[in-house]
Structure 1
Amino acid sequence: MKLTLRILMFVFAMWYPAPGVSAGNTMSPEPPFKSEEILSIMHRVADWQLRAWDREGYGYGRADWVNSACYTGLYATGVLEGGEKYLHALLDIGNKLNWDTGHRRFYADDYCIGQTYAQLYMTYGDKKMITSFTRQADSIIGKPNDEPLHWGNNIQYREWAWCDALFMGPPSLAYLSTATGNPEYLNVACRLWWKTTDFLYDEKEKLYFRDGSYFGQKEKNGAKVFWSRGNGWVVSGLARVLENMPSDHPDRVRFEKLFKAMMKRLASLQQPDGSWHTSLLDPQSYPVKEMSGTGFFCHAFTWGINRGLLDESTYLPVVRKAWKVLVSAVREDGKLGYVQPVGASPGKVDADSTEAYGVGAFLLAGAELYKHMINKDATEQ
């Protein structure tokens, strides 16, 4: 049965109103916090991405992680008011792919799209949307997954050996678990999440290394190398796994503890302009705002506030600053700039650089802000 947009709009929480935007090449410094203005900017950014795909093609391929990460945000936008065209765009993508994932069966990047397939299935109820991914997921959870995670020997094609994988793989299995009612997909996702965490998580810094090759590396200031988008993948993926985890799941408390610890640490690393630079512990090494990491962090912070996991009075100012800088990176035509190119470590970014995953992060953040505002408006009536 198709989910109603009205129910989806009122489930969670949102924001305080503030001034809108003005004309010009980019959005004005004061971000819009009214629900209709948030939605307007989301549509502006999403529409630019749809036009870019029509104009330039999908680059890495429709099923590639670069675009699949964007689909998560398009779906989040599509289930809000006036978002039907984004769902239709996703249906068209799925049909053109015959609802298949990438060709490398155990490579998390290649089945990132599975989470969107599962969400579309829960919206429309068409079994073909998850038939192929369900077969693939059965093979993923059926293999031993017992290799060491040391970087090399193409380990990424067989295990979740890099932190980005925690956005690509676990949420896909978790959403499939919800869609099918089979808890084993979620249970294996949890087990493999902790395997990756035991290897890559720095307990002292409360951050993840990108992969094992970064353990001994240092920034110019002598700090350890922790990549902004890499940790953005983690906390956004963490939120999406928790979204599908029953309250009485045996791993729930442990996941929540990790989430809260990371968000506290990340709040302390936010820059004065509201962004996070590509290097979390040496922000001056690349002293420019970066929108993919910032977008994923904003999504996770707002999601945590909306679900009651993060204290609103503590973290709402973090979200306000983050949303302000995200909006500042949107051009009048809807292009989101300051998105670090495809990579694996801190690096350069400029006003013209963009990628579809940055759009996905922006839309995920905006969707949580919108729902927060809708809920706030409803409770005040």
Structure 2
Amino acid sequence: MKDQIQTVINLGKGKIRRYSNPSFATLYRLRSKIDLLTGKEESFDGQRVLDQWDDQGLEDSKKIFHLFYELGYLIEGIESKTFAKHNPILAIEIHYSDSEDRIAPERGESTKFHEYYRELFGVYQASFNSGYDALMRGDCYQFNLTYPFRYESDDLMDFDLFTSLLMSDPKRAGAYAHLSFIPQMKKILVSNSPECLFQGRMMPDSLKLWTMPIKGTINCFKDEEIKDKWKELKRSVKDQAELYMITDLLRNDMTRIEKTPSKVVKKKLPLRVPGLLHQYSLIEVTLSKNLTLKKILQGLFPGGSVTGAPKKRVMSILDVLENEPRGFYCGSTVILDDDIIAASINIRSGEYEMESKMLKIHAGGGITLESDCNNEFLEMHAKRDSFLSLFT
């Protein structure tokens, strides 16, 4: 099994589910696709990737879809600079034959990570200022600026070790925490995401779909701080504006799936993650029972909380401001199983390259007219530290 594709997801309350023995595994790029079971590569038109899921219903079993952020450019009809320079990964689709629910393993012993690369403040400031000019011109109302970091581990970390570090403490594992080992890529995709793109439940005659966008962040290291920190976060005009703006964007995205009105169920709720306190809203919509995955993704992907508003315009702006593709980060992982209809938004996420022992992560945050460059730079590093602390 150690050389096989496998995935582990968080079930909550100290339990995990491990998927193994894949019967189908395909990596889709912009201009090619690779059968990850045989290694065969053939030409492929990435514009057709969503068509693979035209008949993919939501009532299925043991299927995992890793959607990379760059797929969003195709969905929104944006000609990204990445497409001219690279053949980026758009998605990885895996069908498993086996799954097993287990108690999360005890924490293993991590190796040390050493910082290999990060953007200097001056580079971040230049992008911040360019984006802020777009806000001042009225080109957008909020943009989510992200930057990459790279860390090299002293020793090679395998999939089981990453699983133990991510899942051993149920208080620190995100609700949508998961990881996949793709041996053909020599990579481990790892996410401690607390945020969902959607969560679904089949009803007798319909599908209930929820989304829970996160916007607003404050440092919170101790349980006894939560009450006071939540009061402080709730009072923040800037953070409230971010949340309400993206909530309205997501309400519109949910509505456009089937032109069925969605509604905001909760406007503002607290969410604790390692070292941070966030706020989020809850939006729901009632949809057709036979809805396909393609239709949902056309309405929702990529998540509005990791782009900004208006979504399509902001994605074009970010394509210029950011210096490299986001990849797995800020994409989504869709899980379709007998008791699960869910998709994460892959914040607090990274890609571990096993040959180089390099962990590539991103972090970022929403920028509005109320934003201060220094504060946003510090918040970006706090989010980076929240994820990195799991492995150190």
TM-score norm. by structure 2 comes to 0.27
Higher-helix-fraction structure: 1
TM-score norm. by structure 1 comes to 0.28
